[in-house]
Structure formats: C-alpha cells, structure tokens
Structure 1
C-alpha cells in the first residue's frame, strides 16, 4: 500500500529567514514525523496545505496535482516553498 510523503522545499528566499532557511533546504513530513528544521510561522501557515495534500486533496488550479507553492507569512523576508506529494512503499 502506498504512503504519502510530503516534501517542502525552499525555492525562493529574500532577506534573512529567522530560521536560517535557504534555497534548496527540504523539510520532510512522513509517518507522523517532521525531518529538517522549519520556522514555526512558516510551518503553521503551510500545515493545512500539507494535510490536504497528504489526504488526496485536489486543487483544480494546479498544473501538477502533486505540487503546490506556498508563501511564508514574513513579508519582510519573503520565502517561497514548494510542497510536493510523493508516494512511496515500505
């Protein structure tokens, strides 16, 4: 049975991220665990999208149903995240 892994990757960053995140950094959500460092404000804002994608949400405006972007709420130091849904087998 396939499981969903959600990978959140920093794809754009300006200014100074409070958590020190930089382009290319990845945070992985799988099996009830979070791997990687993450700013609490960014994580709090993106969690609804992570859970929606984990449980098969379909966003009709996405070109790829398994990839969505998300902006960090810090307007002074903008960070853009790509949220990717992956299937894997154990």
Structure 2
C-alpha cells in the first residue's frame, strides 16, 4: 500500500512574535521532500498527526483528510494545516 502524499501549510499566526525560522502564512511544505525546511519544534508536533492521516485515521473535530495543529512556541503560535494530497490519476 502506497502512503499518501502529505502537504503542510502555515495558515495562521496567533502569537506576538514572528517565527524564529522565518515561516510566513501561506508557506507550504511537502512532508516527504521538504520536511527539513520546517521548524523542528513544529515538526515534532506534526509527526503523530501525519501518521494518523497516512494510515487512515481521523480526529473527531477535524475535516476528513486534514488536521490543524499549532507550533509549541507560545510567543509565535504558528497554526499549520496537514492535508492528504490527492494524486491525479
């Protein structure tokens, strides 16, 4: 079984400081090829959610095929969205 492609997008910022890694709203990362560009703190939080989506799971409060999460830096609080990318067949 082939794992689905995962896209991570910065969709909002709630904190009072800019991102220490320079991420901006609208930045998008391909999990398989660009995960090294994503802030390690955010990646640490994202990884369990990525596994949930990749293996068919869903969080009750989230839309099918996507999960939103926040980075753990209280001064920054970047909000990211993880989505399964549908492949064109």
Q: TM-score range by the shorter chain?
A: 0.7 to 0.9
Say which of 21, 24, 27 aligns to 1:22: 24
Between structures 1 and 2, the one with greater helix share: 2
Between structures 1 and 2, the one with greater strand share: 1
Root mean square deviation, CA, Å: 2.0
Provide structure 1 residue ranges, at least 5 long, that are not aligned to the other structure: none
Instruction: Give the TM-score taking structure 1 as reference length.
Output: 0.82
- 1:2·1:88 contact (CA, 8 Å) conserved in 2? no
Provide the C-alpha distance between the structure 1 equivalents of 2:71 and 2:33, rounded to a whole number of angstroms: 18
Provide structure 2 residue ranges, at least 5 long, that are not aligned to the other structure: none
Provide the C-alpha distance between the structure 1 equivalents of 2:34 and 2:72, rounded to a whole number of angstroms: 21
Provide the C-alpha distance between the structure 2 equivalents of 1:50 and 1:3, rounded to a whole number of angstroms: 11
Instruction: Give the TM-score taking structure 2 as reference length.
Output: 0.83
Moved beyond 6 Å, runs of 4+: none
Alignment: residue pair count: 86
